[in-house]
Structure 1
Amino acid sequence: MFKPTVGPIVGHTTTHQTRLFLRGTPRKNISVFAGIRYRRAGEVCWLNSIFAKLEPVRDGCEVIALNELSADTEYEYQAGWFSPAGPMHTVETAQQLPLQWPQDLYRFRTPSNTTTKPRAYIVGSCRYLRMTGGMPVLPHRSDRIFASIMQQVHHAQPPVSAVLMTGDQVYVDDLNIVAPDRELNDIFSKYRAAFSQPNISQLMSSVPTYMILDDHEIEDNWPANKSNKDDYLYTNAMTAYEIYQASHSPIPELLDNGRVSSTLNRYWYQFTEGDIEWFVTDSRTRRNLSTADRRILDQAQEIALCEWLINSSARVKFVVTSVMFYPDKKIQGDDAWKAFPEQRLRLLETIRQHRIKNVIFVSGDVHGSLTSRLTHSEDPDFEVHTVVSSPLSNSKLLPYANAASFILDQPLARTAEGEYRHALTGAVISQDNFAHLVVDAGQIRVSYHDHEGKLLQQTDIPLR
C-alpha cells in the first residue's frame, strides 16, 4: 500500500463517529482501492479495517466513516491506497489480499460527552498558496503557520476539539488576470497542492477540521463579478469544493457500508459539542443580488438559522459566516453583510426579541483580525460578539486590513426602537495569524497568534 497523496483528513467527529478523507492516485482502466484500519491508542490489535474503491471522477478521493467509537478516547489509525494486480477485484476481494500498510501512524481523539466540559477551537481563513505552471511557489510560506498551530494543539488545555477554516482555503483565481484556471483538473491540482503540504497535512490528520467556502474557491467577489461565461468555471469549482472540502463535513448522509454519500443538496451545516453548537452558513453560493429581495443567505437557510437560534438549548452559539457580519468595511464592503442590511437586521432583531444570549459570529475574509461587541441603545439585555480571524497566509499583492479600514463611528443599524452600536474590544491585527478560542464556564478567551506561534493579543468575552 502507498501513503495517501492527499490526507488523511479527520473531518466531522462526534463521540461515536469520525469521517476520514484520503486520496490515492487514480489510474485509467485499473481499479484503485483505499483502506483505513484503526484501534484505541496503545492497543496491539486493530479493531477494524474498512476499504473503498477510488474513482477517477472524484480525483481518486473518498471519505470513510469509522463508527461505534467511544467518547473521549484517543484512536490511532493507518491509511493507504493500492492497485491489485487483477482487474476484477471488488472492495470485498481486495481487502482479503495480503497488504503491507504504510508505516505512518495517525491519531485523533473523540470529544467528551460531559456537557459542560471546557472546549477549545482553532479558527483561521485565507490561506494563499500561489501556483505557477501547476506548481506551488514558495509553499513553505503558506504552510509555516500550521506548524505553529500544531504546537498550540500539542500544548493546549483544554485539548483543541476542532479547527474551523472559514473560507479561502484555496485560491482558484490566484492568477486570474494572467492565466485563469477554469478546467477541473487544474482546480484539482490546486487542492492537491494546498492540502498536501507537510504542516497542514499533519494538522488535518489529527484534529477534526471543518471547512466552508468563500469567494476565492470560485472567483473574487463571486457572484457579483460573474460573467456569462462563468457557468463552466462555477460547475468545476464546486465539483472540486464538494470533493475536497464538503465531503468530510456533517452534510453527507452516512451509508450502511461505512461510506458517506457523494450527493449534497446544500453547503451549510451544524454540529454540536456538549453545550456548544455551531451553525456554519453558506454566505457565498446562495446569494440573491436582485433589488427586490437581496439575500446573502437563501430563504431556507435563513429560516433554519433563525429556528436554530430560537430553539437551540446550547449555552454558546457560534455562527460562522465566511464574510464579515460586522463591522462594515469602508471600501469593498459590499461583498459582505454590509450589502444585505435588511437580512442582517432580521437576524439581529430575532436575537434581540427572543432574548438569545451568547451568540458569537465567526468570520474571516478581510485579511485582518479583530473582536467586536454589538449592543442596542434601548435594550441593555442585548449583546452579541464577533470574532474575525484572517489571514493564515497573505499574498504580498494583497493589503492587510487595519482599524482605519472599518466604519466604527456610526451605528450598524437603526430602527424605530433604537440603534445597534458596535465597538472593537481589541486592536485590529494586521499580519498573518490564527485564533485560539477557549470556552469555559464563564467566558470565551480569544487568543491571536502569529505564524511563529507568538501571542499577539488576548480578549475575554464574558458569557451571560
Structure 2
Amino acid sequence: MLRRVVGDRATIWVETSEPAHVRVEAGSGAAGSAPTFSAYGHHYALVVVSGLAPGAAHSYRVLLDEQQVWPAAGSPYPPSVIRTRAADDAAQPVSLLFGSCRQATPQATGRQLPPDALDAYARRLMADPEHRPDLLVLLGDQVYADETSHKVRRFLRRRRAAGHDGPADQVVTFEEYTKLYLESWRDPEVRWLFATVPSVMIFDDHELIDDWNTSASWRADMARQPWWRDRISGGLGSYWVYQHLGNLSPDELDADPLFQKVSAAGDATDLLREFGLRVDDPGSAENTDVPYQWSFALDLGRTRLVVLDNRCNRVLTPGARAMLPAAEWDWFLDQAHGEYDHLVVGSSLPWLMPPAIHHLEAWNEAATESRRTRWAGFAEKVRRAFDLEHWAAFGKSFTALGELFRRLGEGGVGAPGHRVGAGGAYAAPHSISVLSGDVHHSYVARADFGHPVATPVMQLTCSPIHNEVPLPLRPLMRVSWLPPVARLARGLAKSAGVGKPLIRWKRLSGPYFGNAIGTLTLDGSTAYARIEGTTKDGRLHEVVATTYAP
C-alpha cells in the first residue's frame, strides 16, 4: 500500500505471511528496504523509498527476500506507480479524493448494497491513469468492528466456542481485527488503488464501536463490559498498524518513539497491547497532555491539510466537553498559521450538520447536564439512541472552530493568518474546506458569518463509500434542512438555555443518499468540489458540483 509521498521519498506499507526482508524498487536507483516487525503472529513493514525523481510517475515492484510479489505475476491491472510532484510545485493544482464509511465487498458482507464507489473510481482510474489524484483521504469507518459480515461472524463463532470472550457478532482482539482489514482491503480493485494513490486515514466510531466516546456515562458503561479492555487494546493497536502508521511522513516515523520501539522489538505484541490501553483516554478539562496524538497535518503545494481526531481524545467532563483537549487544540491552531493558500480540515464528523439536527444536538448537550437527574438521564438515552454526538453536541468546540475560520477568513492585522500581505497584515486564504463523512449522505453547505468574509468556508460531506441509509430515515434527513423544522428545533434548544449560533449556514447541494466519492481540486485561487455517486452498473456519475473562490 502506497501511503505518503514527500519530496523524493515515499512510504510503502506491507503485510506479509511470515517474517521477511522487504525491498521496494522504483527504477533509476530509487529504492528502499526494511525487515518486517511482528505483532500477534502477524508481520508488517513500512518501507521508505528514497531517490525518486521529481515530477514523474515511477513504476515500482515489491520483493520479499529477493522474490517479487508485487505486481503479481499475470496481473490484469496497470503497473502500480509512485507519482512525485514537481520540485517547485507552488503553481501545480492539488487534487484530493475523499469519503468515508466503507463496508467490505458484497461477496464478503452478503448484503445487497449499491455498488462500491471506491471500486468504481479504481476502474475509471485504470482506464485514465493521467487523472490520478494527489491523495486519498479516508475519513472514518474504514472497517466495522460492530457490524460484521457473515464470513467474519462464522470465524467469531469458532473463536467464542474456543473460549475467546466477546459479543458473538463483534470483533474484540487484534487477531479478529486483522480479519476485517483482510476482508476489506483484499478487494482487487481497491488493493490496486491503494497501491498507486497515496492515502491518509482517520478513524470514526465503528473502528471501535458505535457511539465511541459519546459521553462520560457511556465510557463508564462500556468499562463494565468484561471484553472492553481487549476491544480497546486490539482496536487501537490494529488501527495504529493498519491505518495511522502510514499517515506519518518519513521524518515523523523517525521521531515516533512507538515506531522505533516496535521496529526494534523481536515481537511487538506486548508493546501494542499496552499502547492500546494507555491511549484510551479522552483527556480531561485539567489535563493539557495528550498521550498520543492521532491528528496529523501535511502540505501539498500551496494547500495545507489538517486531519483531526474526533473520537479518541475527546474531553467528556460535564460542563467542559470538547472535541479536542487543550494541547491538541493548540497544536491545531499552530497548523492554522503558515505559508499556504488553501486550508483543508479533515473531520470524520461534519462541522455543519442539517440545522434541525444541529439544534437538537445542542439541546441534548444542555439537557444531559441538567440538575434534574431524571431529565438528564432521559436526555442521555436520547443522545445514544439517535447518535447526537457531532460538533453541535460539543458546543464550545463548534463555536471555537467557527471563530477560528472567521478570523482566518477576514485576514488583517492580528488575525491567525497564513500569508503576510502588504503592511504586515495577514492575507486571508483563498478557501477553507471541511471534509467529512459519517452521516451516510452527501451535501455541500457554506458558512455565513453575518458579514462579508473574503474566504469562502465550506462543509463538504461525502458518505458513504459503500453502505446505505435505511429508506425510512431519508425523509427525516431531508426535512431537517427545512427552515420551519430548524426553527422548531432551535426553540427546543433555546428552552434549555442554549444561545443562538454565531454563524448560519446554507445548503448549496444535496442531500444525496447513494454511495459516493468526493474530489476537491485546488487550482490557483479556485476550489472545485465534486461528488460522484455510483450507478447500478458500477459507474460514477456527478451528483454534486460547486466552485468557490474569494
TM band (smaller chain): 0.7 to 0.9
SS of the residue corresponding to residue 509 of structure 2 reads coil
SS of the residue corresponding to residue 150 of structure 1 reads helix
Deviation at 1:400, TM superposition (A): 6.5
Matched, 1:276 2:303: yes
SS of the residue corresponding to residue 328 of structure 2 reads helix
Q: Distance in 1 between matches of 2:345 and 2:326?
A: 17
* Matched letter for residue 253 of structure 2: L
2:17 to 13, 18, 25: 25
Deviation at 1:443, TM superposition (A): 2.3
- Aligned-residue sequence identity (percent) comes to 16
Residue matched to 2:195: 205
Q: Which moved more, 1:117-126 or 1:409-418?
A: 409-418
Q: Distance in 2 between matches of 1:278 and 1:33?
A: 34
**Cα distance 1:247–1:401, how it changes in 2: closer, same or farther (>3 A)?**
farther
Residue matched to 1:239: 237
Residue matched to 1:149: 121
Q: Distance in 1 between matches of 2:184 and 2:501?
A: 46
**Cα distance 1:79–1:406, how it changes in 2: closer, same or farther (>3 A)?**
farther
* Matched letter for residue 338 of structure 2: S
Deviation at 1:201, TM superposition (A): 0.3
* Matched letter for residue 75 of structure 1: H
Work out whether residues 173 and 220 of structure 1, in 8 Å CA contact, stay in contact via their aligned partners in 2.
yes
Where do 5+ consecutive residues of structure 2 fail to align? Answer: 73-78, 149-165, 263-274, 276-291, 361-385, 411-427
Work out whether residues 378 and 417 of structure 1, in 8 Å CA contact, stay in contact via their aligned partners in 2.
no
2:80 to 102, 106, 109: 106
Alignment of 1:16-415 (within 5 A): 16-26=8-18, 32-40=19-27, 47-48=30-31, 50-57=33-40, 59-81=42-64, 99=67, 104=72, 105-112=79-86, 113-129=88-104, 136-138=108-110, 144-154=116-126, 155=128, 159-175=132-148, 178-224=168-214, 225-226=218-219, 227-228=222-223, 229=225, 230-250=228-248, 253-255=252-254, 261=260, 265-309=292-336, 311-328=337-354, 330=357, 332=386, 334-354=388-408, 355=410, 356-357=428-429, 358-381=431-454, 383-394=456-467, 401=474, 403-404=477-478, 406-407=480-481, 409=483, 410=486
Deviation at 1:249, TM superposition (A): 0.8
**Cα distance 1:298–1:24, how it changes in 2: closer, same or farther (>3 A)?**
same
Q: Distance in 2 between matches of 1:166 and 1:209?
A: 11
TM-score (norm. length: structure 1):
0.82
Residue matched to 1:93: none
Work out whether residues 531 and 542 of structure 2, in 8 Å CA contact, stay in contact via their aligned partners in 1.
yes
Deviation at 1:49, TM superposition (A): 5.0
Q: Distance in 2 between matches of 1:179 and 1:424?
A: 38
Q: Distance in 2 between matches of 1:380 and 1:418?
A: 17
Q: Distance in 1 between matches of 2:113 and 2:544?
A: 25
**Cα distance 1:139–1:246, how it changes in 2: closer, same or farther (>3 A)?**
farther
Deviation at 1:192, TM superposition (A): 1.5
Q: Distance in 2 between matches of 1:276 and 1:117?
A: 10
Q: Distance in 1 between matches of 2:387 and 2:175?
A: 33
Residue matched to 1:90: none
Work out whether residues 36 and 51 of structure 1, in 8 Å CA contact, stay in contact via their aligned partners in 2.
yes
Q: Distance in 2 between matches of 1:261 and 1:405?
A: 51
Work out whether residues 6 and 249 of structure 2, in 8 Å CA contact, stay in contact via their aligned partners in 1.
no
Deviation at 1:262, TM superposition (A): 6.2
Root-mean-square deviation (CA, aligned residues, Å) is 3.2
Residue matched to 1:457: 543
* Matched letter for residue 138 of structure 2: M
TM-score (norm. length: structure 2):
0.70
Work out whether residues 37 and 45 of structure 2, in 8 Å CA contact, stay in contact via their aligned partners in 1.
yes
Q: Distance in 1 between matches of 2:64 and 2:101?
A: 31
SS of the residue corresponding to residue 297 of structure 2 reads strand
**Cα distance 1:380–1:446, how it changes in 2: closer, same or farther (>3 A)?**
closer
Deviation at 1:195, TM superposition (A): 1.3
Deviations 1:185-227 (A, max 9, x none): 1111111211111111010000001100000000001013441
Work out whether residues 72 and 111 of structure 1, in 8 Å CA contact, stay in contact via their aligned partners in 2.
yes
Q: Distance in 2 between matches of 1:270 and 1:350?
A: 17
Q: Distance in 2 between matches of 1:438 and 1:108?
A: 20
Q: Distance in 1 between matches of 2:232 and 2:7?
A: 36
Deviation at 1:139, TM superposition (A): 8.8
SS of the residue corresponding to residue 205 of structure 1 reads helix
Deviations 1:287-333 (A, max 9, x none): 12222210111212211212222x22211000001011112462735
* Matched letter for residue 200 of structure 2: Y
Q: Distance in 2 between matches of 1:396 and 1:428?
A: 12
Work out whether residues 434 and 450 of structure 1, in 8 Å CA contact, stay in contact via their aligned partners in 2.
yes
Work out whether residues 98 and 462 of structure 2, in 8 Å CA contact, stay in contact via their aligned partners in 1.
yes
SS of the residue corresponding to residue 60 of structure 1 reads strand
Where do 5+ consecutive residues of structure 1 fail to align? Answer: 1-8, 27-31, 83-97
Deviation at 1:381, TM superposition (A): 4.3
Structure number having the greater helix percentage: 2
Q: Distance in 1 between matches of 2:454 and 2:32?
A: 53
